[in-house]
Amino acid sequence: MSALIKTPEAIARMREAAAIVAGTLEMIGAHVRPGITTAQLDRLCHDYITDHGAVPACVGYQGYRHASCISVNQVVCHGVPGDKALRDGDLLNIDLVASCQGWHADSSAMFTAGRPTLAGTRLATLTQQALYLGLLAVRPGARVGDIGAAIQRHAQAHGLSVVRDYGGHGIGQQMHEAPEVLHYRTGNPGITLLLGMCFTIEPMLNAGGHACRTLADGWTVVTRDRSLSAQWEHTVLVTEQGAEPLTLRPSERQGWLDFVAAQGAPAGGQRGRPLAR
């Protein structure tokens, strides 16, 4: 069996990790408010993951010391938690990876501290829609490039740009595995998707241009033009019905099903039960 294809036993372990990641993101939303620091949010995430019997897999990864990446406003990804307090209207992404018995799950979600801005709400909403359209492009026999094409088409239709320096990835016993999942259209359709593959889809959309740069800390990636950036991410399993987002949060489930219904598509991998469990 190809290393890209997960066994039923592996998928069961990944479901456990996915449920903990989803639970962490459900929990943390109530704590996102003006005045709290990203370091405090990170500690809450760390403790939730360990209290539920999993390992915060980002800790120690290439020297990284935190359980989460928390990216605020113009930070695209890999924002390092610190002592700076959130301000009213800040838009932030919280990105988590947990492992259970050596198997990983990865997800991120958008939050607003205090009163949301119109620009932040629009960008976050459209980026989540881009993720969902990427999910709907997943089915056995499709090509990985179909995911990026669906995301780019949506972003361009709404005047947004797709970050090209970072993409999704296979996931399993390693946090990052094959295949690479680009979120924009290229001349290469990529590999064929097969039953049992697991990977992340995690589009990063910018209100301005797609260009990014990395700050001196070696981690934090920001938009070159200082425009707002947003990202949503799920760990995805390829099923006979399509994509099953393993990390779907309970509070998100109805919104996902409504979006699927509005597109006239089946909810891949649902199999008559909550997708996040």
Residue 271 has pLDDT above 50, yes or no: no
- The pLDDT-based confidence of 175 (bands split at 50, 70, 90) is very high
> Which tens digit of pLDDT belongs to each residue from 26-46?
999 999 999 999 999 999 999
> What is the mean pLDDT of the segment spanning 64-84?
98
In this predicted structure, what is the pLDDT of residue 37? 98
Average per-residue pLDDT for the chain: 94
pLDDT of 277 > 60? The answer is: no
Return the HEC string of the chain: CCCCECCHHHHHHHHHHHHHHHHHHHHHHHHCCCCCEHHHHHHHHHHHHHHCCCEECCCCHHHCCCCEEEEECCEEECCCCCCCECCCCCEEEEEEEEEECCEEEEEEEEEECCCCCHHHHHHHHHHHHHHHHHHHCCCCCCEHHHHHHHHHHHHHHCCCEECCCCCEEECCCCCCEEEEECCCCCCCCCCECCCCEEEEECCEEECCCCCEEECCCCCCEEECCCCCEEECEEEEEEECCEEEECCCCHHHHHHHHHHHHHCCCCCCCCCCCCCCC
Question: What confidence score (pLDDT) does residue 4 get?
Answer: 85
Q: pTM here?
A: 0.94
| pLDDT, tens digit (0-9, with 9 covering 90-100), for 9-27 | 999 999 999 999 999 999 9
| Residue of higher predicted confidence among 2 and 167 | 167
pLDDT score of 274: 27
Task: Provide the percentage of residues in the chain whose pLDDT is more than 70.
Answer: 95
**pLDDT single digits (tens) 183-226:** 999 989 999 999 999 999 999 999 999 999 999 999 999 999 99
Res. 178: pLDDT tops 60: yes
